[in-house]
Amino acid sequence: MLDIKFIRENLDVVKMAAQKKKIVVDLDRLVSLDDKRRELMSSLEKKRAQQNKASGEIAQAGSDEERQAMIAQMSELKTILQAEEEKFKPLMEEWKALMLQVPQVPDMTVPDGDSDEDNQEVKVWGEQTKFDFEPKDHVEIMTNLGMADFERGTKVHGFRGYYLTGDGARLCWAIWNYANTFFGAKDFVPLLGPSIVRKSNLFGTGHLPNEAEDVYHTQDEDYLIGTSEISTMGYYSDEVLDKAQLPIKYLAFSPCYRREAGSHGKDTKGLVRVHEFFKVEQVVLCEASHEESVQHHEWLNRNTEEFIESLGIPYHTVLNCGGDLGQGQVKKYDIELWVPLEKKYREISSASYFHDFQTRRFNTRYKDEDGKLRYAHSLNCTAIPTPRILVSLIENFQQADGSVRIPEVLQGYMGGRSVIEVMKETE
């Protein structure tokens, strides 16, 4: 959420931001509503002050007649006050709804564009894998190796259901444990938080109201998170931090749930777009400084690049265009892994910074050197999601006999094994 004062003073800039992000919001209506809001708030404050003053005068009235006259005047004032309060309620509801739609202003380096097809490649690492045999996709390989069971997953869960079995499950545990070691060496504090949260937390991160159709929720109006960023950001809601605590760096792990409502007909096979998965997430709170946010953003994204490089999977990094930025994001990088059978790169990680867009909604502040309260800045970046990473890992490291090489850094977490072997047929 942006400060209404900033919106009013920089209306043309905010309009350009909405246009660049392809977000439709009536900013002129918002300013008009804000004028009425301010006018009504001023009127209400004056009448409440008059009401308080009258209460004191009634108590000091010299006669019963004088007291009754004052009570009549106060009753009339109360009626007017109640009418204005009733008028104020729907105005505030519309004002708040519009405020929640206002986008963060993107960084000047964010390119124009309508969708992810317009993102700009800024880095390529590793050579695209080539084979001297006929390669298979991850679904066939994992099924043959007893690493996954998609048929039974569909039977139990429905569309996009899956089981990871045997070495498929072991490989995910290996990745989680390696990620904990790798990112733990970078001074992150491990965090396991709630996966079921109050609705307000999704408004805080900006996932609501814009992504409502993609979010699971319960009959009690609790919500299942699609990323541990949500519960992690809620950790310090309505709190005032000490500047000395900053930057705060969490490595959060959680199950995640997404309905994939907008992806009908896309990626219907395998592990690319599943409804439930696990994710390790980097989350940072820092001082309210653009320069510091930029520094942390580059660092977070580079952390994940280094992690992917240590696994030996080819990737490229793209700078997201305006049309592929979320409402609250100032700037975002996506890391995409090479998928040999599709002959394309697929997203595995996003690194974003928000300035005070999220912390203003969560009311997460800190005291600066002068004792002034300021909203912290927030950032997040995917460390690694499972099982999606298995798509690229399995396909890039497959061998002619159907086995899969295990990246060297994971072998210690796989009992020292270097290969996932083809299952032997039972007699």
Q: What pLDDT is recorded for position 48?
A: 81
Mark whether 388 is an active-site residue. Answer: yes
Tell me: pLDDT of 216 over 90: yes
Q: What is the DSSP string of 34-71?
A: HHHHHHHHHHHHHHHHHHHHHHHHHHT-SSHHHHHHHH
Of the pLDDT bands very low, low, confident and very high (cuts 50, 70, 90), residue 423 is low
Of the pLDDT bands very low, low, confident and very high (cuts 50, 70, 90), residue 265 is low
Helices then strands, counting H and E runs in the chain, come out as 13, 17
Measured between alpha carbons, how far is residue 164 from residues 102, 169, 170, 240, 274 in Å?
41, 5, 9, 43, 12
| Least confident range of 109-113, 263-267, 275-279, 293-297 | 263-267
pLDDT digits (tens, 9 = 90+) for 12-69: 999 999 999 999 999 999 999 999 999 999 998 887 888 777 776 666 666 777 667 7
Tell me: pLDDT of 213 over 70: yes
Q: What pLDDT is recorded for position 260?
A: 85
Domain 4-99 has CATH 3.90.1640.30: no
d(CA 117, CA 138): 24
From the number of C-beta atoms within 10 Å of its C-beta (0-12, 13-18, 19+), residue 425 rates as exposed
Domain ranges in the chain are 4-99, 116-420
Q: What pLDDT is recorded for position 280?
A: 97
pLDDT digits (tens, 9 = 90+) for 181-210: 999 999 999 999 999 999 999 999 999 988
Residue 248 is given by DSSP the state E
Domain 116-420 has CATH 3.30.930.10: yes
Q: What pLDDT is recorded for position 67?
A: 67
Catalytic-role residue among 273, 302, 405, 417: 273
Tell me: pLDDT of 73 over 90: no
d(CA 14, CA 21): 11
Of the pLDDT bands very low, low, confident and very high (cuts 50, 70, 90), residue 78 is confident
Q: What pLDDT is recorded for position 61?
A: 66
Q: What pLDDT is recorded for position 56?
A: 67
The pTM of this model reads 0.91
d(CA 301, CA 186): 13
Mark whether 273 is an active-site residue. Answer: yes
d(CA 111, CA 106): 10
Q: What pLDDT is recorded for position 427?
A: 34
Q: What pLDDT is recorded for position 107?
A: 97
Q: Which residues contact 418 (CB under 8 A, 6 or more apart)?
A: 405, 406, 408, 411
Catalytic-role residue among 170, 361, 374, 388: 388
Q: What pLDDT is recorded for position 44?
A: 87
- The mean per-residue pLDDT over the stretch 283-312 comes to 98
pLDDT digits (tens, 9 = 90+) for 134-177: 999 999 999 999 999 999 999 999 988 999 999 999 999 999 99
Of the pLDDT bands very low, low, confident and very high (cuts 50, 70, 90), residue 415 is very high
255 sits in which H/E element: strand 248-257
Contact 276, 172 (CB under 8 A): no
Mark whether 221 is an active-site residue. Answer: no
Tell me: pLDDT of 84 over 70: yes
Mark whether 350 is an active-site residue. Answer: yes
d(CA 331, CA 355): 10
Q: What pLDDT is recorded for position 422?
A: 80
pLDDT digits (tens, 9 = 90+) for 301-352: 999 999 999 999 999 999 999 999 999 999 999 999 999 999 999 999 999 9
Mark whether 258 is an active-site residue. Answer: yes
The token pair that represents 300 in the structure block: 């977070």
Q: Which residues contact 187 (CB under 8 A, 6 or more apart)?
A: 249
Q: Which residues contact 292 (CB under 8 A, 6 or more apart)?
A: 247, 286, 377
Tell me: pLDDT of 425 over 50: no
CA neighbor of 136 nearest in space, from 382, 345, 404, 353: 404
Catalytic-role residue among 258, 361, 365, 374: 258
Catalytic-role residue among 195, 289, 347, 403: 347
d(CA 424, CA 427): 9
User: Residue 384 — left, alpha, or beta (φ > 0 → left; ψ -120 to 50 → alpha)?
Assistant: beta
pLDDT digits (tens, 9 = 90+) for 230-254: 999 999 999 999 999 999 999 999 9
- Hey, how many other C-beta atoms are within 10 angstroms of the C-beta on 151? 12
CA neighbor of 112 nearest in space, from 9, 22, 178, 176: 22
Q: What pLDDT is recorded for position 419?
A: 97
